[in-house]
Amino acid sequence: MNYSLDSKRKVRKSDRPRHRGLRQKLIANLSAKGIADQRVLQAMLSIPRHFMIDEEFVDWAYRDIAFPIEADQTISMPYTVAMQSQLLEVQPGDKILEVGTGSGYQAAVLYVMGAKVYTIERQRDLFDKTSILLNEMGYHRIRTLYGDGYIGAQRFAPFDKIIVTAGTQIFPHRLFEQVKIGGIMVIPQGGRSGQEMMRYIKTSKTTYLSENHGSCAFVPMLSGTR
């Protein structure tokens, strides 16, 4: 499989058997760490994650670590992406909003799993760059939005599921209103020193169940755009 990316830089990124081999190892590692949703693992096996980080660091793409991308942001570690995707219990056709597009990798995983994906990013440069990349990689129907995730995307609501990929201290009520009854929101909550991975299941317009799925570390969710 070959993709031609970024004609200005004249870079042609390719997905070679070596990369697939690295992905296979990564998937085995994630499965050993307790990721059991085969559809999550299959999606991660098929996505060339090395296209989503800087050229010089290709060899880091398939290690289970978080990695810096543009604008002081990070691409979440593969385990975290797998865990959040698993907690979403993605069904084909689910309408999902992601907050924090970043590199686009998490959005691609949900899309390959068959979801209708909307993803929102507050930083203009990342929004521009990642929108182009996702399109070039063939994930044409991922809808990228520029805006503040605390506000969400009311014009496309309601969503079956919402995934937040930045850490927040405040519960984003306005966002949770955009989840359908019976729907799920997965969100890291807590301060800058670390968060807990929370899953909320909306049981009625005003009630929800909450579950704590353990500690995690995300860059902060900030309000407004930039």
The residues annotated with a catalytic role in the active site are 76
CB of 36 to ligand SAH, least distance (A): 21
Query: Of residues 165-194, which lie at the interface with ligand SAH (CB under 6 A)?
Result: 165-166
What phi and psi values does residue 35 have, to the nearest 5 degrees?
-80, 115
Instruction: In whole angstroms, give the CA distance from residue 8 to residue 214.
Output: 43
Q: Is 222 in the site for ligand SAH (CB under 6 A)?
A: yes
Q: Is 73 in the site for ligand SAH (CB under 6 A)?
A: yes
CB of 48 to ligand SAH, least distance (A): 14
> Which of the stretches 55-63, 133-141, 206-214, 217-225 binds ligand SAH when contact is defined by CB under 6 A?
217-225
CA distances to 14, 49, 62, 161 from 58, in Å:
11, 9, 8, 32
Name the residue among 84, 93, 66 with its Cα closest to residue 198. 84
Neighbours of 197 (CB within 10 A): 21
Instruction: In whole angstroms, give the CA distance from residue 83 to residue 150.
Output: 22
Site string (12-51) toward ligand SAH, x via CB under 6 A: ----------------------------------------
Which of 53, 132, 217, 219 binds ligand SAH (CB under 6 A)? It is 219
Query: Of residues 94-153, which lie at the interface with ligand SAH (CB under 6 A)?
Result: 99-100, 102-103, 105-106, 120-123, 126, 148-150
Structure tokens that stand for 84 in this block: 């959040």
Alpha-carbon dihedral 151, 141, 68, 221, rounded to 10 degrees: 10
Name the residue among 61, 72, 147 with its Cα closest to residue 105. 61
CB of 108 to ligand SAH, least distance (A): 8
Which of 75, 82, 90, 162 binds ligand SAH (CB under 6 A)? It is 75
Q: Is 76 in the site for ligand SAH (CB under 6 A)?
A: yes
Using CB under 6 A as the binding criterion, the count of chain residues that bind ligand SAH stands at 24
Instruction: In whole angstroms, give the CA distance from residue 142 to residue 115.
Output: 9
Would residue 196 be called left, alpha or beta, if left means φ above 0 and alpha means ψ between -120 and 50 degrees?
Answer: beta
Applying CB under 6 A, the residues found at the interface with ligand SAH are: 73-76, 99-100, 102-103, 105-106, 120-123, 126, 148-150, 165-166, 219, 221-223
